[in-house]
Structures are given as C-alpha cells and as structure tokens.
Amino acid sequence: MSEQQITSSSPIQPAKRIDPLAVIVRFQSLIGLVLVFAGGIIFSPRRHGVILFIQPDNIANIVRAVSETGIIAIGMTFVIITAGIDLSVGAALGLASVVTATLMVSGGFGLITTVLAVLLMGTCFGLVQGAISSKFRLEAFIVTLAGLQAARGLALVVSGNQYINISYGDGPGLAPPIFAVLGGRLFGNVVPVATIVFLIFACIATLVLNTTRFGRYVYAVGGNERAARISGVPVSAIKIAVYAITGFASALAGIVHAGQFNFGSANDGTGYELTAIAAVVIGGTSLFGGSGSMVGTIAGTIMLGALANILQLNNITPAMQLLSTAAIIVLAAVLQSLVRRREGLGR
Amino acid sequence: MTQNALRFSSARRMALMAGSCLCIAGVAQAADPLVKACAKDGEFVIGFSQANNAEPYRQHVNDELEAAAKAVPQFTLQIADGAGNVNTQTSQVDNFITQKVDLLLISPFEAAPLTPAVKRVMDAGIPVIELDRKTNGEAGKDYTAFIGGDNYKIALAAGEYTSKTLLPDGGEAAVLQGLPSSTPAVERLNGFKDGVKANSKIQIVAEQAADWLPDKAQTAFAAMLQAHPDIKMVYASNDMMAAGALLAAKGAGKSVKIIGTDGLPGPAGGIEAVAKGDWSATFTYPTGGKEAIDMAKSILLDCASSVEPTVTVDTTAITPENAKQMMGK
C-alpha cells in the first residue's frame, strides 16, 4: 500500500474551516508557556532589583528538574496519540536506575555496555506490554498497571531491598567517572546535561512523529483504528512499537536519574507517570487519540516546571501547587473538549 | 525519672555550649563569622527542605520548627516539601540558593543524591544545618552541622525499660520493624534487641517488618498473636505501628503491653495513647527543631565563627507517670 493512500484516506485531517478556538487549542501549550513565564516575571521575588525567576541559574533549575519527566512525556505522547496509556513508566524508571547502578557498581560493566543494556531492557519491557495488550486485546490501562507492579517488584529483587549508591573511580565496585557528567552542566556551567539529553531526545521524537511514515501511522491508529486497518496500516505493530518507545524513554530517564543523583532506588519515579500524562494533556494531545504534538508536550513539561518553581520561589504551599496544576489540567481538557464538540466529533 | 534527668542535663549542656560559643565569639574577634551579614537586628530568611510532609513525624518536625522560629522576630522560615522525591528536593534546594536564603535547614530524603545539592549551597556561602538525616561528607566541612536523635540509643532505652520495668519476670516479646533496608528501621531493631539482653528471661519470639504503617502492623501483629498466644509485650518501631498493634490486640481480646517510638503529640500520637493507658510507653525521637533554631541564632544573630558540628538530642521516655504532664507541652 502506498503512503498516498494513507494520508488521503486518513481520518485525522484537520478541519478545513478556521475556528479561532481551535487555533488557541493548537497553540495552547505555547500560549500557556508564555503566560506562565510572564506571570513568573511579574510575581518573581526580587533581590536588589534583580528578577530572580529569569536568572540563568533559575531557568537551569527549572529545565533540569523537568528533564526526567520530560523524557518520559515524549514517549508518552506517542502512546496517547494512539489513544493508549502507559502507567508503568515511573516504575520502569526506578527499575532502570537500579539496574544501571547495579551493572556499573557490582557488575563492573563499562559505561557504554551499561547504557545499551539498560536501554535494551527498557525497550523490551515496553515491547512485552504492547504485545500482551495487542495480542490478547486487553486495555493498555490494565496491562501497564500490571507492568507498574512488575517493574517495582523486579527493581526490589535486583537491588536486594537496598539503595545502591554509585561511587566513581577506576576498579571494581566503582562507576567510570565520565558517568557523573549527567549530573553536571555545560556551556559555562549553565545548561544541565540532563536537559540536553531531554532536548536531543525531543528533537529526534519530533522528527519521527512529523516526518516519517511511522509518525503518520501513529496518528492514523489513534484517529480511527478501523479505518487505519482497512487502509493497510499495520495497527498491531504500531501499537507494540509505541509501548516499546515509552519503555525506551523510561530507561533513558532512569539512566539520567542514576547519573544525576549517583544512586539507584527501586522506589524512584513514583508518580512520574501522572506528571508525564499531565504534561502531554496540557500540551494539547487528546486522550482520545488521533491528535497532538511533540512541541506541545515539551511546552507542557516546561510549563509545569516553571509553575512549580514560581510558586516555590514565593513560598506558596505544596497544596496550592497541586491545586494550580489541577486547574491547568482541567482548563486544557475543557478547551480540547469544546473544540471537539464544535468540530462535531462529540465527547 | 532518670530519663527526665537525662533530658534536663542535655538542656543544660546545650545552654553551656551556646554560652561558650558566645564567649569564644566575644574573645576571638579575629575569627571570621560563618555568615558575614550576621547582625542582632537583621532580617533573615531560613529555608527548610523537608524530605516529605506526608508523614505524621515529619509534620511534627515542621510544627516544632515553626514554633521555635516564630519566637525569633528576626527569622522568617520557609518550608519546602520534597514529597519523598530526590529530584523534587534537589530542585527545591537549588531554588533556595536562587532565593539567597541566609541559612538552609535540610532533612535529606536520601544521602547520596542530595550531597551535591548541599555542596552547591555551601559553595554559595550559605550555612547548612542538617536535621535528623545526613548527606555524605563530614560535619563542619561538607555541611555546617548535624542535629538529630540517635535511633539506636532510643531503641536501646526502650529495650532497657522493657527489661527492668515492663517485664522484670521475663516472658515472650515481639517486634514490629519499620521499612526494611532503611537505616532507622535497622538501628531501632538492633537497639531494642540489645536493650532486652539485660534480662535473659525475655525471649523475642516474633519480629516482622510492617513498613512503618499501622494497617500492616495490625495484620502482622494479629498473625503473631495467633502463632504465639503468650506474647506479653510488643515493641513497635514507630507510633503508627503501635496504634496498629493495639487494634490487633483488642481484636484478639488480649491485653498486651505496647511500646511505641517517636512520642508524637496530638490525638493520634503516642503521648496521648500512654496517658490513656492504651500503651505502656513511647520514647520520643527528638525533632531537634528548637536546637536547630538556637544554632541558627548563634550563627545569624550572634555572628558565631564556629558551631558544634554534631549535636545529638536525647530521648524522653513517656510513661504513665509523666504522660499527662507531657501532653501540655
């Protein structure tokens, strides 16, 4: 089957008429990001006339803190565009951090071997979940919920119930010093390396989603699975692939985590799946599948980080931070729903 | 009460220490103060990076710290909740650097991951007092000071109290342990076991981990009572698990002596449970909140050039004799 066939018969073509609300929704995450930054500047505490919020160090804090959930959210965007969900990502991060630490410290593996092994493990973990879900026609929600438990259990087994500290140096029991780079900063000691990993991964993912046949298939599966199948899209393979991608992303985030904090812990990454889903939804990707963008996810991720930062700089309680995040998620969802109704898509 | 005597002596020691710091500061003019902008009438912001607010003990720490800081008009205390997540806590510590707080208090969720963040704070010229939990490195160099209780000693005191007062004639005892592999859980278990060694007629017939949680403790202790109907007392490594053990004992229709740990205030805490006669005792795990604010005063207001790098705060035994009186505190 040809590509032309797919694109022409694909049900996810944008509505032809221009709806101002749709424009807002299309760019909601960028608009939101600008608004949050403007608010950040206005409400930033000042010291001797210096606006603390936009200090390079502070911006670096924000983008560093969101790097791990950002990497996961990038993977999650693929899954959600296919109308799926992956709840196992946070636990998979914990598993990856533990395996990274174990391989390097007690396994005596080198940096490259460890990284490749952990990425392969994460990809396979996602692949298995996708395959189970697809083959037995099970809800991804259930399969990945089981995956969450499995990853935590495996992480506890691998780590022997211990936190695994990573120390650096040459010789057995020590990690290669270069691994500590992940916790550092580049370009005048300003840009966190973790953020660079996040941005590179985001760029590759954007290219894959926007310019490849695979990317078009992902949209097609989420837009209308039946139509996609009739058009010859290998639906099962695409579904399995997106879970492999989230598995890969979780493993990458786990490696970054271990490198940033010099340790592996089975309990780490708890709740990251929800932060990642929130970032994707705020970024304008619909949980019903078929639409969404990578740029939106990146903006959504940074928006959540900036919001937490400005509230914290002003010493506003964690309760308010949760409530304001909740308000933004609801706002994003309501906007999407309004647009869908106008376009006659219902729901 | 010997434990009370212990506590008073520790208070006196603190006072002496603070006094000697003042003297040193007064005599040795040449030594640089830890904070250059220190002043009696200054205004100072103290940041507290809490590991996790969602535990009763951690809330108790916040309360004591807030109360102590409120008594010093020059101080403003800001608390950030690390939410039990090293990534969150690291960014909050970095935010405190951005805000240029005058002093950082921190209970690091885990040692190694927070070590670099604490180093950045020290590098920024901000003194760091670690509360209850430490990062890696040396007190007085990699961080300014550590203030906290000693889990082993507190559990040892509970064990000795069991040997001498609760079960002088011996009998079967049980232990509910905290989250396995966490340091406090291990230290409290070992301390209690060493404490009951004083009485060879006491046998520990059951010990299980209940992860600090009341529901898990209830289930575990109910099973222990099934397997060992003659259990006379149970040592719970925190107050929440002691509350769970009480429910299990009531459910089984048995009267078991219960010891908790932490000595939390409030209706759900151990002090009231002892006062009501539900438990036999609880041993406070001091928050060090007051001591931390005292140290902040000597650094920021009195321009101390050095402080005691490690301050261990002693436990208080809450027993039927003093529980009612302790409730008011």
**Given this model, what pLDDT does residue A26 score?**
74
**Does A61 contact B94 at a Cβ distance shorter than 8 Å?**
yes
Q: Which residues from B are below 8 Å from A45, CB to CB?
A: 99
Q: Contact, B221 vs B193, CB < 8 A?
A: no
**Given this model, what pLDDT does residue A247 score?**
98
Whole-angstrom distance between the N-terminal and C-terminal Cα of chain A? 32
Tell me the shortest Cα–Cα distance from A169 to chain B, in angstroms: 16
**Does B113 contact A68 at a Cβ distance shorter than 8 Å?**
no
Half-sphere exposure of A338 (CA within 13 A, CB side): 15
pLDDT (average), residues B52-61? 87
Q: Which residues from A are below 8 Å from B53, CB to CB?
A: 318
pLDDT (average), residues B196-224? 92
**Given this model, what pLDDT does residue B14 score?**
54
Q: Contact, B217 vs B279, CB < 8 A?
A: no
**Given this model, what pLDDT does residue B12 score?**
53
Q: Which two tokens stand for residue B160?
A: 């000795």
**Does A262 contact B116 at a Cβ distance shorter than 8 Å?**
yes
Q: Is the pLDDT reported for residue A2 higher than 50?
A: no
pLDDT (average), residues B187-197? 96
**Given this model, what pLDDT does residue A9 score?**
44
Q: What is the pLDDT confidence band of residue B319, given thresholds at 50, 70 and 90?
A: very high
- The alpha carbon of residue A337 and the mean position of all alpha carbons in its chain are separated, in whole angstroms, by 23
Q: Contact, B286 vs B251, CB < 8 A?
A: no
- Residue A189 at interface with chain B, using a CB cutoff of 8 Å: no
Alpha helix locations (H) across chain B? Answer: 2-27, 56-70, 86-98, 111-123, 151-161, 183-196, 214-227, 239-251, 270-275, 289-300, 323-327
**Given this model, what pLDDT does residue B236 score?**
97
**Given this model, what pLDDT does residue A166 score?**
86
Q: Is the pLDDT reported for residue A347 higher than 50?
A: no
Q: Which residues from B are below 8 Å from A162, CB to CB?
A: 181
Q: Is the pLDDT reported for residue A340 higher than 60?
A: yes
Determine phi and psi for A44, rounding to 5 degrees.
Answer: -65, 140
Q: Is the pLDDT reported for residue B284 higher than 90?
A: yes
Q: What is the pTM of this model?
A: 0.81
Which of the two residues, B67 and A261, has the higher pLDDT score?
Answer: B67
Q: Which two tokens stand for residue A41?
A: 């500047």
CA–CA gap between residue B113 and residue A258 (Å, rounded) = 9
pLDDT (average), residues B199-212? 92
Q: Which residues from B are below 8 Å from A161, CB to CB?
A: 180-181
pLDDT (average), residues A162-171? 81
Summarised one tens digit per residue, pLDDT across range B122-162 is 999 999 999 998 999 999 999 999 999 999 999 999 999 99
Q: What is the pLDDT confidence band of residue B245, given thresholds at 50, 70 and 90?
A: very high
**Does A261 contact B80 at a Cβ distance shorter than 8 Å?**
no
**Given this model, what pLDDT does residue B23 score?**
47
**Given this model, what pLDDT does residue A223 score?**
92
Summarised one tens digit per residue, pLDDT across range A67-78 is 999 999 999 999
Q: What is the pLDDT confidence band of residue B18, given thresholds at 50, 70 and 90?
A: low
What mean pLDDT is reported for chain A? 88
Q: What is the pLDDT confidence band of residue B268, given thresholds at 50, 70 and 90?
A: confident
pLDDT (average), residues B242-246? 95
Q: What percent of chain B has pLDDT over 90?
A: 73
Whole-angstrom distance between the N-terminal and C-terminal Cα of chain B? 17
pLDDT (average), residues B18-40? 66
- Give me the residue label for tokens 């898990």: B216
**Does B181 contact A315 at a Cβ distance shorter than 8 Å?**
no
Q: Is the pLDDT reported for residue B15 higher than 70?
A: no
Write the ipTM. Answer: 0.75
Tell me the shortest Cα–Cα distance from B112 to chain A, in angstroms: 7
Summarised one tens digit per residue, pLDDT across range B31-45 is 789 998 999 999 999
CA–CA gap between residue B215 and residue B236 (Å, rounded) = 13
Q: What is the pLDDT confidence band of residue B74, given thresholds at 50, 70 and 90?
A: very high
* Partners of B103 in beta bridges: B46
Q: What is the pLDDT confidence band of residue A201, given thresholds at 50, 70 and 90?
A: very high
pLDDT (average), residues A169-197? 87
Tell me the shortest Cα–Cα distance from A285 to chain B, in angstroms: 25
**Given this model, what pLDDT does residue B8 score?**
44
A-chain residue closest to B109, CA distance: A268
**Given this model, what pLDDT does residue A17 score?**
64
Torsion-angle region of A277 (φ positive above 0: left; ψ -120 to 50: alpha; else: beta): alpha
**Given this model, what pLDDT does residue A295 score?**
93
Which of the two residues, A261 and A115, has the higher pLDDT score?
Answer: A115
β pairing state of A50-51 and A46-47: antiparallel
Q: Which two tokens stand for residue B86?
A: 């090293």
Which of B45, B77, B98, B99 to probe by mutation at the A interface, max A CB count within 10 Å? B98
**Given this model, what pLDDT does residue A10 score?**
47
Q: What percent of chain B has pLDDT over 70?
A: 90
Which of A54, A67, A268 to probe by mutation at the B interface, max B CB count within 10 Å? A268
Q: Which residues from A are below 8 Å from B37, CB to CB?
A: none
**Given this model, what pLDDT does residue B52 score?**
87
**Does A57 contact B81 at a Cβ distance shorter than 8 Å?**
no
Which of B95, B96, B181 to probe by mutation at the A interface, max A CB count within 10 Å? B95
**Does B98 contact A57 at a Cβ distance shorter than 8 Å?**
yes
Q: Which residues from A are below 8 Å from B83, CB to CB?
A: 318
**Given this model, what pLDDT does residue A141 score?**
95
What mean pLDDT is reported for chain B? 89
pLDDT (average), residues B293-305? 96
- Residue A176 at interface with chain B, using a CB cutoff of 8 Å: no
Q: What percent of chain A has pLDDT over 90?
A: 57
